[in-house]
Amino acid sequence: MWGRYLVVLLLALTPHAILSSELETVYEWKQMVFGFPTDADRQEAIANGNLIPENATPIDVAVDYHSEKGTRVFTTTPRFTTGIPYTLAVVTNTTEDNGPVLMPYPDYSWHNSYGDDCDKITSVYRVAITECNQMFVLDTGAIFTVKHCPPQLLVFDLNTDTLSHRYVFDPSIYTANASLFITPRAIVSDPPPTGNCSNVKVYMTDVTFHGLVVYDSELDAAWRIENRFMYPHPDQGVHTIANQTFILMDGMFALASDQEQLYFHPLASVTEYAVPLSIINNRTNFLDSDVAMPEAFSQVGTRSSSTAAEAMDSQGNLYFVTFNPIKLTYWSPNATYTPENEIEIPADPQLIEFVSGMKVHTNDTGVEELWMLSDRFQEIANGAIDFSEINFRILRRPLDDIQNSD
């Protein structure tokens, strides 16, 4: 199998150096496995219809390399439907037949109110972990399409695993029953060791009502920005992954940044867009109108095929997995973003069917790593998921060989 990829690699990367690292499967599941603090909690969840593992689709991954607590891998499972006992979890090293056992984060009491208590967590699509040992948790407040609570941004201190801040979005920031906040990206302007992490911006996508929300930790305020590039493109709404076709008209979906610009794309699209951070970080620009400054937004590239998640490393390489064919790919900042300039990174396509979560994390030795969660969404969309197969994977790949090959 490796031989086949080596040939692809040589063709794709000439005249780049040969890459040495491989994509590693860190965790894999046939079906999600939910652990509980006590057996009574499990029995209660079963009795109330709150533990239906076949309903669970994990979508994001985030990693905390902590000097004292060790490495913790987090995953999210949005409450698309009933039967999800918790929506944010840490992956344990205990493995059962279907895969490793999850445990609720920060603890079960944050998750088992199912929208009855808006001080708790209702449903999370994705999270962002910063170099300040904090985790931003973006809670939609909704279960399936029912909005129980306003959307909120929670900040957990990963040193103490306690809530350090809560920001509940004002109704002016979203449209009730229409907005869905799914992807946060955080940028720290004053990171350690010199800074004290007081200046963090969190950018968030509204996938269903086509907007971007900026949260500023210094102001403790958020504002909304809309632009025509945040809409899904009807011609790109039909997707094919591993020969299975499905319709997904998701708009504003994924975010990445090189500290100068915010890059973004709708899911139903083959186009990458960007806007300067200096424009969107300035709240004044959008005080009168959330559709202000349309000329600041630009189309920066076109892909060979649509993609879900994306992430950028510190050198400005933009990573994504194309749907059809399935390819782990990056764009270098030195070349224009065209299909011809997509650089393929060798990877078994079976491992990366629908990558819905992607992050670049710096590990304990200072090496940047690409982390991905793949969930075979094409099978789920078509009601064809087979729980005797591996369906969900958390993957990791060091990036130093790619960075040194540029």
Provide the binding-site residues for ligand NAG, judged by CB under 6 A.
Answer: 70-72, 90, 92-93, 146-147, 176-177, 196, 198, 242-243, 282, 284-285, 334, 363-365, 367, 398, 406
Residue 233 C-beta: closest distance to ligand NAG, Å: 25
Q: Which two tokens stand for residue 21?
A: 């690292």
| Beta-sheet strand order (sheet of 221-225) | 181-188, 200-206, 211-216, 221-225
Phi and psi at residue 348, to the nearest 5°: -65, 120
Nearer to ligand NAG, 119 or 364 (CB): 364
Can you tell me the distance from the alpha carbon of 294 to that of 310, in angstroms, rounded to the nearest whole number?
A: 23
Nearer to ligand NAG, 46 or 168 (CB): 168
CB atoms within 10 A of CB 199: 15
Nearer to ligand NAG, 143 or 207 (CB): 143
Bridge partners (DSSP) listed for residue 244: 241
Residue 41 C-beta: closest distance to ligand NAG, Å: 19
Nearer to ligand NAG, 48 or 177 (CB): 177
Nearer to ligand NAG, 14 or 365 (CB): 365
Determine the residue type at 373. L
Residue 70 C-beta: closest distance to ligand NAG, Å: 3
Residue nearest to ligand NAG (CB): 70
Nearer to ligand NAG, 130 or 285 (CB): 285
Residue 308 C-beta: closest distance to ligand NAG, Å: 18
Can you tell me the distance from the alpha carbon of 16 to that of 346, in angstroms, rounded to the nearest whole number?
A: 13
Residue 236 C-beta: closest distance to ligand NAG, Å: 21
Nearer to ligand NAG, 43 or 333 (CB): 333
* Stated length of the chain: 406
Q: Which two tokens stand for residue 185?
A: 């990206």
What does the DSSP assignment read for 8-39?
HHHHHHTTSPPP----EEEEEESS-EE--SSH
Nearest to 213 by CA among 143, 308, 281: 281
Residue 171 C-beta: closest distance to ligand NAG, Å: 9
Surface-to-core class of residue 172, CB atoms within 10 Å of its CB (0-12 exposed, 13-18 middle, 19+ buried):
exposed
Residue 47 C-beta: closest distance to ligand NAG, Å: 25
Can you tell me the distance from the alpha carbon of 333 to that of 259, in angstroms, rounded to the nearest whole number?
A: 13
